[in-house]
């Protein structure tokens, strides 16, 4: 049964409410909690950055494909691209041959398959994945950055991914939510957006679980 109170909320509030459990499940995986608590090592962080590279490489290609879309293009216009920062981090963490040393984990490959299937052509689906990743980077990602520097002694040269120079995070997040609320999507398109956010959190959780297994195997 549809909750009438939920349908009266703006899309930004609805998606946050309806995907809260999915979000919490992703951010409380063993890998994330161990990384934040300092129970892993720099190699585990490098594995995380490596998987991020594959994800953002595909997502940012989708962003280019939809840059001129009247709705999706507004979200692309925030200038939140992460690939240059990720490449700088991986160069610092793994050295000049970093490209030959990284491989997508099975869960990452599944994530990329989903992105290629929906994010290049469907604005609600693209925005769902964009929302899940970039708003997370601007919010919870800052906690990860502080934990990395505190627990592992990494410098700013290894955490560029979490830096957004020239971006007013609070203003971007407010505008982002305004754009969601104003998106001229039909009810089925809004539902597709929310369902895809849920799917994105599930993919991220699976990547963290694979990272946990990979880290245990490497120990």
**pLDDT one-digit tens code per residue, 20-55:** 999 999 999 999 999 999 999 999 999 999 999 999
**Is residue 198 included in any domain, yes or no?**
yes
**Is residue 219 included in any domain, yes or no?**
no
List of residues 6+ apart from 113 with CB closer than 8 A: none
Hey, CA dihedral for 217, 153, 27, 112, is it positive or negative? negative
**Is residue 13 included in any domain, yes or no?**
yes
CA-closest candidate to residue 16, choices 139, 104, 111, 153:
139
Number of domains in the chain: 1
Tens-place pLDDT, residues 66-79: 999 999 999 999 99
**Is residue 181 included in any domain, yes or no?**
yes
Give the domain extent around 101: 8-214
**Is residue 64 included in any domain, yes or no?**
yes
Q: Provide the pLDDT for residue 8.
A: 60
Q: If DSSP states are collapsed to H, E and C, what string results for the chain?
A: CCCHHHHCCCHHHHHHHHCHHHHHHHHCCHHHHHHHHCCCCHHHHHHHHHHHHHHHHHHHHHHHHCCCCCCHHHHHCCCCCCHHHHHHHHHHHHCCCHHHHCCCCHHHHHHHHHHHHHCCCCHHHHHHHHHHHHHHHHCHHHHHHHHHHHHHCCCHHHCHHHCCCCCCHHHHHHHHHHHHHHCCCCHHHHHHHHHHHHHHHHHHHHHHHHHHHHHHHHC
Q: Mean of the pLDDT values across residues 69-91?
A: 96
Q: Are 138 and 172 in contact (CB under 8 A)?
A: yes
The CATH number of whichever domain residue 68 belongs to comes to 1.20.910.10
**Is residue 3 included in any domain, yes or no?**
no
Q: Is 219 exposed, middle or buried (0-12, 13-18, 19+ CB in 10 A)?
A: exposed
**Is residue 2 included in any domain, yes or no?**
no
Which of the four pLDDT bands, split at 50, 70 and 90, describes residue 1? very low
Q: Mean of the pLDDT values across residues 194-215?
A: 98
Tokens at residue 215, please?
């880290």
Residue 173 has pLDDT above 60, yes or no: yes
Residue 7 has pLDDT above 60, yes or no: no
**Is residue 78 included in any domain, yes or no?**
yes
């Amino acid at each position: 049964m549809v909750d009438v109170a939920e349908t009266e909320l703006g899309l930004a509030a609805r998606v946050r409410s309806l995907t809260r459990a999915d979000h919490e499940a992703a951010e409380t995986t063993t890998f994330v909690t161990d990384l934040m608590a300092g129970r892993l090592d720099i190699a585990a962080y490098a594995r995380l950055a490596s998987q991020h590279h594959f994800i953002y490489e595909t997502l940012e290609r989708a962003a280019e494909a939809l840059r001129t879309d009247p709705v999706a293009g507004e979200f692309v216009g925030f200038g939140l691209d992460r690939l240059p920062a990720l490449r700088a981090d991986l160069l610092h963490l793994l050295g000049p041959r970093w490209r030959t040393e990284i491989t997508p984990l099975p869960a990452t490959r599944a994530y990329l398959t989903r992105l290629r299937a929906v994010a290049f052509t469907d604005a609600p689906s693209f925005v769902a994945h964009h929302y899940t990743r970039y708003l997370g980077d601007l919010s919870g990602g800052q906690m990860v950055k502080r934990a990395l520097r505190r627990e592992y002694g990494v410098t700013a040269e290894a955490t560029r991914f979490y830096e957004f120079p020239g971006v007013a995070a609070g203003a971007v997040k407010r505008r982002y939510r305004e754009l969601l609320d104003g998106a001229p999507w039909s009810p089925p398109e809004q539902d597709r957006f929310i369902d895809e956010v849920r799917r994105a959190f599930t993919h991220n959780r699976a990547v963290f679980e694979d990272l946990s297994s990979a880290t245990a195997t490497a120990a």
